[in-house]
Amino acid sequence: MKLYTSYRSDAAYRVRIALTFKGLPHESEYFDVDDRDGLIHDPDYREINPQGVVPTLGEGYRRYRQSIAIMEYLEECYPTPPILPGSSRDRERIRSLSQLIVSDIAPLTGPRALAYLKTSLGLDEEGCKSWIWYWSEQGLAALESLLKDNPATTNYCHGDLPTMADICLVSQVHGFEQHGWRLETFPTIERIYRTCMELDAFRTTAPEFQPDNPSA
Amino acid sequence: MKLYTSYRSDAAYRVRIALTFKGLPHESEYFDVDDRDGLIHDPDYREINPQGVVPTLGEGYRRYRQSIAIMEYLEECYPTPPILPGSSRDRERIRSLSQLIVSDIAPLTGPRALAYLKTSLGLDEEGCKSWIWYWSEQGLAALESLLKDNPATTNYCHGDLPTMADICLVSQVHGFEQHGWRLETFPTIERIYRTCMELDAFRTTAPEFQPDNPSA
Confidence of residue A6 (pLDDT cuts 50, 70, 90): very high
pLDDT of residue B213: 96
Helix (H/G/I), strand (E/B), else coil: A107? helix
pLDDT of residue A215: 86
Other CB atoms within 10 Å distance of the CB of residue A151 = 5
pLDDT by residue (tens digit) across B162-191?
999 999 999 999 988 877 888 999 999 999
Given this model, what pLDDT does residue B177 score?
84
User: Is a pLDDT exceeding 80 seen at residue A216?
Assistant: no
Mean pLDDT on A56-70: 97
Q: Do A66 and B103 touch (CB under 8 A)?
A: yes
- Span B198-202, average pLDDT: 98
Going by pLDDT thresholds of 50, 70 and 90, the confidence category of residue A150 is very high
Contact A89 B62 (CB under 8 A): yes
Q: Do the bridges between strand B2-5 and strand A62-65 make them parallel or antiparallel, or are there none, so unpaired?
A: unpaired
> Residue range A74-92: average pLDDT?
98
Task: Annotate B79-107 with three-state secondary structure.
Answer: CCCCCCCCCHHHHHHHHHHHHHHHHHCHH
Judge if ipTM > 0.95: yes
> What is the strand order of the sheet A27-30 is part of?
A27-30, A2-5, A56-59, A62-65
Taking the whole predicted model, whether its pTM rises above 0.95 is answered as yes
% residues pLDDT > 70 (chain B): 100
Mean of pLDDT values over A191-195: 97
In percent, the amount of chain B with pLDDT more than 90 equals 95
Region B2-15: what's the mean pLDDT? 97
Residue B180 has what pLDDT? 82
Q: Reply yes or no: is the peptide bond before residue A79 cis, omega within 30 of 0.
A: no
Facing residue for A50 by CB, picked from B98, B127, B145: B145
Asked whether the predicted pLDDT for residue B115 surpasses 80, the reply is: yes
Distance separating alpha carbons of residues A7 and A13, to the nearest angstrom: 7
For B103, the closest of A70, A107, A121 (CB atoms) is A107
B70 touches chain A (CB under 8 A): yes
Provide the chain B residues 136-195 that lie in CB contact (below 8 A) with chain A: 138-139, 141-142, 145-146
Q: What is the pLDDT of residue A53?
A: 96
For chain B, what is the mean pLDDT? 96
- For the segment A17-35, the average pLDDT, to the nearest whole number, is 97
pLDDT averaged over chain A?
96
Residues A103-132 have pLDDT tens digits of: 999 999 999 999 999 999 999 999 999 999
Mean pLDDT, to the nearest integer, of A187-207?
97
Q: Which residues 79-98 of B are in CB contact (within 8 Å) with A?
A: 88-89, 91-93, 95-96, 98
Q: Long-range contacts: A192-201, Cβ < 8 Å, 24+?
A: A192/A147, A192/A153, A192/A155, A192/A156, A192/A157, A192/A166, A193/A169, A195/A155, A195/A156, A196/A156, A196/A162, A196/A166, A196/A169, A196/A170, A197/A170, A199/A21, A199/A162, A200/A20, A201/A17, A201/A20, A201/A21, A201/A162
Using an 8 Å Cβ cutoff, are B1 and B59 in contact?
yes
Nearest by CB to B73, from A88, A107, A113: name it.
A88
Are the C-beta atoms of B117 and B131 separated by less than 8 Å? yes
The conformation of residue B196, written as its DSSP 8-state character, comes to H
Minimal CA separation from A93 to chain B, in Å: 7
pLDDT at A180: 82
What is the structure's pLDDT at B179? Answer: 78
Tell me the β-bridge partners of B66: none
The C-alpha atoms of residue B26 and residue A166 are separated, in whole angstroms, by: 32
pLDDT for position A149: 85
